[in-house]
Each structure stands twice: as structure tokens, then as C-alpha cells.
């Protein structure tokens, strides 16, 4: 997962933020996909991981209710 993909997925989550459940599911998938990319060794450096994580964490600025049933 590269920065551009993260930005696109953040935009998607923002567009879905009117539906808390769907937005939250998308947020979870984003985090899971990031962890999987780290696990699979898809990043070349710690610096790249930090840059992606910093961008990805902007999802917390999107306003919707986060809860699990």
C-alpha cells in the first residue's frame, strides 16, 4: 500500500462517513491492510512505514461514530 492508495481510501471513508457502520468497516480494513503490508515485507524502510502510517492515521480526523456490535 502506497501513499496514493491511502489517500484514495481516506477520501472513500470520508465520503462514507454519513454511514457510521460502513465507514468504520472501511477504516478497519485500511488498518488491517496496512498491517498485512508490513507483515509481508512490502515496505523498503522504517521511514516508508512511518510515512504511510502518518498519512493513514489521518483517518482519525474523519468524523463518524466508531463502535463494534
Q: What is the pLDDT of residues 9-55, one digit of tens each?
A: 999 999 999 999 999 999 999 999 999 999 999 999 999 999 999 99
Please tell me the distance from the alpha carbon of residue 14 to that of residue 26, in angstroms, as a whole number: 10
Please tell me the distance from the alpha carbon of residue 42 to that of residue 27, in angstroms, as a whole number: 20
Residue 69 has pLDDT above 90, yes or no: no
**What pLDDT is recorded for position 52?**
97
Task: Supply the pTM of this predicted model.
Answer: 0.91
Whether the Cβ atoms of residue 26 and residue 9 lie closer than 8 Å to each other: yes
Query: Half-sphere exposure (CA, 13 Å, Cβ side) for 44?
Result: 1
**What pLDDT is recorded for position 62?**
98
**What pLDDT is recorded for position 67?**
81
Nearest to 31 by CA among 13, 45, 19: 13
Amino acid at each position: 500500500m502506497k501513499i496514493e492508495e491511502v489517500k484514495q481510501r481516506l477520501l472513500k471513508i470520508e465520503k462514507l462517513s454519513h454511514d457510521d457502520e460502513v465507514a468504520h468497516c472501511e477504516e478497519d480494513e485500511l488498518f488491517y491492510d496496512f498491517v498485512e503490508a508490513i507483515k509481508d515485507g512490502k515496505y523498503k524502510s522504517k521511514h516508508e512505514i512511518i510515512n504511510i502510517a502518518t498519512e493513514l492515521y489521518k483517518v482519525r480526523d474523519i468524523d463518524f461514530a466508531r463502535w463494534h456490535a
